[in-house]
Amino acid sequence: MRTRKARITAVLSYLGSIMDATETELDYTTPFELLIAVMLSAQCTDKRINQVTPALFAAYPSPEALAKATPEEVFEYIRSVSYPNNKAKHLVGMAQRLVADFHSEVPTTLEELTTLPGVGRKTANVVQAVAFGKAALAVDTHVFRVSHRLNLVPSTATTPYAVEKALRRYIPDETVAASHYWLLLHGRYTCTARKPHCETCGLAHLCTSKDKVLPKG
């Protein structure tokens, strides 16, 4: 029986051996662009977001430019993503707040980031980790699912924040950002929600999930 610390260490050691330390598949060049991309990516694929953002970034290259737009104008650029009406409103509101309260700069702290319209803890943690190199762990649906399937967190960790706190107990600061990316990609491509690819998973021997499916014989 492995301790939870040992399980987390083993899982991250394996994932780190087969993946690089890149922290997002979203395309961006500035913290402002990253913030927009992460806000748009909620319940939408990174591939779709990367198709949408080039034209959006070109039309609104700065917080000032986006702050002057209307949600209706922004909607035309993001209509193919999930919940485009709400996201358009949030993007404009976010830009207006950056201009008014943060000198048009993306803030670096969780407390400040989460004051922006449409920015929750997960989005703020991604921006902190990727744009500013902070030891912040974002828990999305993939990280949440993988953490429970591999028994990295207790069953009582029923919220993203609870999973974040449980994982952070045993992940060194220097690998926190990469760990988010590794767990996310493992959930996105291997430990998928409906049909996990257990037969090709290098962590199957550690997995005690009821969802595990291995070939017979």
Q: pLDDT tens digits, residue range 62-73?
A: 999 999 999 999
Same fold, 4-22+138-206 and 31-132: no
Q: Which amino acid is at 167?
A: L
Spans of all domains in the chain = 4-22+138-206, 31-132
Average pLDDT rounded to a whole number, residues 175-190? 93
Question: Once rounded to an integer, what is the mean pLDDT over residues 35-45?
Answer: 95
Is the sign of the CA dihedral 73, 74, 79, 83 positive or negative? negative
Q: What three-state secondary structure class fits 83?
A: coil
pLDDT in tens, 130-169: 999 999 999 999 999 999 999 999 999 999 999 999 999 9
Residue 215 has pLDDT above 70, yes or no: no
Residue 1: pLDDT over 90: no
Question: Would you say the pTM of this structure is higher than 0.75?
Answer: yes
Whole-number pLDDT of residue 64: 98
pLDDT value at position 212?
Answer: 74
**Token pair 């509101």 is at which residue?**
93
208 or 164, higher pLDDT: 164
**Which tokens is 53 given?**
């953002």
Degrees to nearest 5, angle at CA 46 with 142 and 15: 45
The residues assigned a catalytic role are 122, 140
Spell out the CATH class of 4-22+138-206: mainly alpha
Mean pLDDT (whole number) for 196-202? 93
Half-sphere exposure of residue 181, counting CA atoms within 13 Å on the CB side? 20
CATH number of 31-132: 1.10.340.30
Give residue 129's pLDDT band: very low, low, confident or very high (50, 70, 90). very high
Number of neighbouring beta carbons within 10 Å of residue 177: 25
Which amino acid, one-letter code, is at 132? F
Q: Which pLDDT score is estimated for 211?
A: 74
Q: How far apart are CA 78 and CA 47, in angstroms?
A: 13
- For 181, phi then psi, to 5°, come to -65, -45
